[in-house]
Amino acid sequence: MTCRDHDVLLSLRAAGALDAAESVRVEAHLAGCAACRAEADALAAALGLARLPPVSDAERRVLGELPERTLAALRRSSRRRSLGKRFAAVFAAAAAAAALVLAPAVLRKDPGAPAGEAEVAWEAPDLDGIWNDTAVIDLESSVAAGEDEADAVLAALDN
Amino acid sequence: MDDAHDKGQRPNLRVVAGGASPASGQAAGDRAADEALLAAFLVGDDDAFGELVRRYERLVVSIVRRYTRTPEDARDLAQRTFLRAFVAARRTLGRDPQGAFPFRRWLVRVAVNLAKNHLRNELRFDRAGASLRALGPAEAPPVGADQLLRAERAARLRAEVLRLPRRQREVLTLRIDAELPFAEIAEVLGITENAAKVTFHHGSRRLREALGREETP
């Protein structure tokens, strides 16, 4: 095998990722090839310098808070989600009630309208339609809450 | 819900084997344990959540550490990683409670993506990449000329890692920071194991060349 055939294996060797058979093959090649030995040393040096230092005590102290903070953030987000759902339900009910009260006034003929304008006959609101609309509002807000959940969770991080 | 947790008490954590570097990929037993903990969490067991975080915090932190300026940043990025993975798990298992959710794989993928986004934000106002050297955990203060020189070269080379093409950077850091086996790196990134190894080789060769340029006056 040529030096070129060992290219990838030398990188894997520097990462400590060779299996036993590969290791035997690579070491046999390195024993007789000074150029590849130099390349292997250079790769090991580069990866050694690129590695991060071990976790310091200061880091460990800060990172030790991770489970509790994550759990607290999740609880905050769950509370927000449940409040949001309740708000959406109340809003939908209020919108339905407002539609029932305001629909006759809105649909009644405007007394100041110019003569000649076609008269619009008042029609009773379609209660089924209003009900369906509010149901859609409620459904949509639930779906949106699901899709935006990740953002809500992230927003909870700031509190 | 029990308010005890909100008052800063630690969740009751059971000891479960696990860590940043399993022998090869994720063992079936570990995956089953993850699924049991996820199922418990989804029915309201917050301690199961705490246990999953404890189980994988080392792995997640090892992935995001290189991209942050301070330990607090690393902790926050790790926290975001867990929250996103949990939201995804809740959504997936909420739709299909009998389904499987590869939690560890998701976690690694989310950590890699959030780290990438974090890096992008760091570079948004710094086209020259001068701030790259400020990223990553601080070294112990060097003592003597040799250590000073080594610290200087290490800082330059770590900045070089962040300049690698995305895939090379991902594979290289998942190997040297998270110490994942190539089979698992391949699984997480959706490539073959052989492609992961070759990509790693290209990344390490770039670093070796950067080191060579530095040493050549």
- How would DSSP label each residue in B72-109? HHHHHHHHHHHHHHHHHHHHHHHH-TTS---HHHHHHH
Lowest mean pLDDT among B14-28, B48-62, B63-77, B153-167: B14-28
Q: Residue B129 is part of a domain; what is its CATH number?
A: 1.10.1740.10
Angle at A81 between CA A76 and CA A85, to 5 degrees: 150
Mean pLDDT, residues A86-108: 74
Q: Considering only CA atoms, which of B41, B43, B63, B64 is closest in space to residue B53? A: B41
Report if residue B14 sits inside a domain: no
Nearest chain B alpha carbon to A70: B79
Which residues are within 8 A (CB) of B74 and not within 5 positions of it... i.e. 6 or more apart? Answer: A59, A62, A63, B61, B64, B65, B68, B137
Give the mean model confidence (pLDDT) for residues A97-110.
73
Q: Is residue B39 part of a domain?
A: yes
pTM given for the model? 0.71
Average confidence (pLDDT) over B174-179: 96
Answer whether B66 touches A (CB < 8 Å).
Answer: yes
Which residues span the domain enclosing B88? 19-215
Domains contained in chain B, number: 1
- The chain-wide mean pLDDT, for chain B, equals 81
Which of B:133-152 have CB within 8 Å of A?
136-140, 150
ipTM for the complex shown = 0.79
Residue with tokens 């809105």: A106
pLDDT at B59: 95
Query: Which of B80, B175, B211 has the CB atom closest to A46's CB atom?
Result: B211
pLDDT higher than 80, residue B168: yes
Q: What is the mean pLDDT of residues B92-120?
A: 85
Q: Which pLDDT score is estimated for A147?
A: 39
pLDDT at B127: 58
Amino acid at B199: T
Q: Residue B137: which of A52, A75, A157 has the nearest Cβ?
A: A52
Say if B2 falls within a structural domain.
Answer: no
Q: Is residue B41 in some structural domain?
A: yes
B58-104 pLDDT tens trace: 999 999 999 998 899 999 999 999 999 888 888 887 777 777 778 89
pLDDT of residue A158: 43
Asked if B55 has any chain A CB less than 8 Å from its own CB, the reply is no
What DSSP character marks residue A112? T
- Give me the pLDDT at residue B176, please: 96
> What's the confidence (pLDDT) of residue B203?
97
Instruction: Tell me whether residue B101 is in a domain.
Output: yes
Percent of chain B residues past pLDDT 70, beyond the cut: 82
Q: Which residue from B minimizes the CA distance to A57?
A: B71
Of these ranges, A86-100, A135-149, B92-106, B179-193, the one predicted with the greatest mean pLDDT is B179-193
Residues of A in contact with B57 (CB under 8 A): 63, 66-67
* In the predicted structure, residue A139 carries a pLDDT above the cut 60: no
Domain membership flag for residue B198: yes
Across the interface, of A55, A63, A71, the residue whose CB is closest to B11 is A71
Select the residue of B65, B71, B197 nearest A12 (Cβ to Cβ): B197
Q: Would you say residue B6 lies in a domain?
A: no
For tokens 């489970």, name the residue: A67
* Mean pLDDT in residue range B51-55: 90
pLDDT tens, A15-37?
999 999 999 999 999 999 999 99
- pLDDT at res. B129: 59
What's the average model confidence in pLDDT over A105-132? 61
